[in-house]
């Protein structure tokens, strides 16, 4: 399963790329909220000088392997996309975990690059996952460009993000016509849902690590 590991990382001038969160398999849904569809990360950019030899060895054409922005832009769009859905009780149960995500990036200088890296998955499985990621990021972007007007619309976008980022996600939509709540068939274990939505934390700026950890635990307990 190692080939399905993804990461959300920040470029620290002294340490190069530092992983904030990781996930196996594929990626968790909430990372999609940090990026826009035009912020694609290409394999040739991700691997730099290593790419010609790597692509020749695996006979792989240049392709999208993730998304890259800056911490500042990610913070701004996270706030803007969440504002319209805070009043939707059912969908906000899941989206409120973004508080932990916001705390994890809050202490990062705005100009530092932020990267969602799924290169291991796309190199192992081809371009299909790139298409799924694109669908998830596009759904997240619609929260800002065409905000949902009710809980069901918000849930629909959330499920697009969930299954685009991770086609093997344990978070499943209920069978139709049972559409009142998309969470009827989600696991009751808060830690499992936390992992599926946010991933495993690896690094958080010291000034926010306790707050982020507390936010995650409170969310898991209330789930």
Q: What are phi and psi of 202, to 5 degrees?
A: -120, -35
pLDDT tens for residues 30-41? 999 999 999 999
Average pLDDT value for residue range 172-191: 71
124 confidence band (pLDDT: 50, 70, 90): confident
Q: pTM above the 0.95 mark?
A: no
Q: Can you tell me the distance from the alpha carbon of 55 to that of 196, in angstroms, rounded to the nearest whole number? A: 31
Of the candidates 201, 34, 181, the one whose C-alpha atom is nearest the C-alpha of residue 104 is 201
Average pLDDT value for residue range 146-168: 94
pLDDT tens for residues 42-86? 999 999 999 988 888 776 889 999 999 999 999 999 999 999 999
> Alpha helices of the chain — where are they, by DSSP H?
43-47, 51-58, 71-82, 89-95, 98-106, 119-125, 128-145, 151-165, 190-198, 206-222
Q: Could you write out the DSSP letters of every residue in 130-156?
A: HHHHHHHHHHHHHHHHS--SSHHHHHH
On whether the CB atoms of residues 65 and 47 are closer than 8 A, the answer is: no
Let me know if 158 is exposed, middle or buried by CB neighbors in 10 A (0-12, 13-18, 19+). Answer: buried
On whether the CB atoms of residues 35 and 45 are closer than 8 A, the answer is: no
């Amino acid at each position: 399963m190692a080939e399905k590991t993804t990461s959300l990382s920040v470029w620290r001038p002294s340490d190069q790329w530092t992983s904030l969160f990781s996930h196996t398999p594929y990626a968790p849904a909430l990372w999609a909220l940090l990026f826009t569809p035009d912020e694609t990360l290409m394999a040739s950019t991700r691997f730099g000088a290593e790419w010609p030899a790597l692509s020749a060895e695996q006979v792989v054409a240049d392709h999208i392997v993730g998304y890259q922005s800056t911490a500042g832009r990610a913070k701004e769009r996270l706030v803007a996309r969440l504002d319209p859905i805070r009043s939707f009780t059912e969908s906000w149960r899941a989206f409120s975990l973004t508080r932990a995500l916001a705390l994890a990036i809050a202490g990062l200088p705005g100009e530092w690059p932020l990267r969602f890296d799924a290169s291991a998955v796309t190199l192992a499985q081809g371009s299909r996952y790139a298409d799924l990621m694109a669908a998830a990021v596009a759904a997240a972007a619609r929260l800002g460009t065409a905000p949902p007007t009710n809980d069901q619309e918000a849930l629909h976008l959330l499920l697009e993000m969930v299954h685009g980022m991770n086609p093997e996600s344990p978070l499943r939509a209920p069978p139709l016509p049972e559409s009142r709540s998309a969470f009827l068939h989600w696991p009751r274990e808060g830690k499992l849902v936390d992992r599926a939505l946010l991933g495993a934390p690896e690094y958080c700026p010291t000034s926010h690590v306790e707050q982020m950890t507390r936010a995650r635990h409170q969310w898991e307990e209330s789930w």
